[in-house]
Amino acid sequence: RAVLAGTTASAAFVAMLLLGIWLFIHMRKSKKATNDLNDIENVKSLKFDFNTIKSATNNFNEDGKLGEGGFGTVFKGKLKNGQDIAVKRLSGNSTQGIEEFKTEVLLVAKLQHRNLVRL
């Protein structure tokens, strides 16, 4: 009877230890993915100065307006090297916060679709 209790306790301890290790690894991966998503500084290709964007969109000309989103108006533009771009000009009265904006930028930067220009 004592042997059975010892074996059961040992098995329960090993099971709890394995569960703890699995949870630790899973939470660490999840936290790293969240940090990567929120790190807008990792998206190097999105860094253009304002004058470049202004020139590419012809001073945010209404003729180049593609639509409006939650953060502002989207304009079509063309860089000096001929690459087509879409630029979202933020609206001052946007109801969404900075974290939502960062998430949108990062998701769009990572999107790949035949109808989308790669950022």
Task: Judge whether 33 and 106 are in contact, CB under 8 Å.
Answer: no
DSSP state of 20: H
The alpha carbon of 60 is separated from its chain's Cα centroid by a whole number of angstroms, namely 25
- 31 among annotated binding-site residues: no
Give the whole-angstrom CA distance, residue 31 versus residue 26: 9
Task: Give binding residues as ranges.
Answer: 88
Q: Could you list the residues known to form a binding site for ATP, using ranges.
A: 88
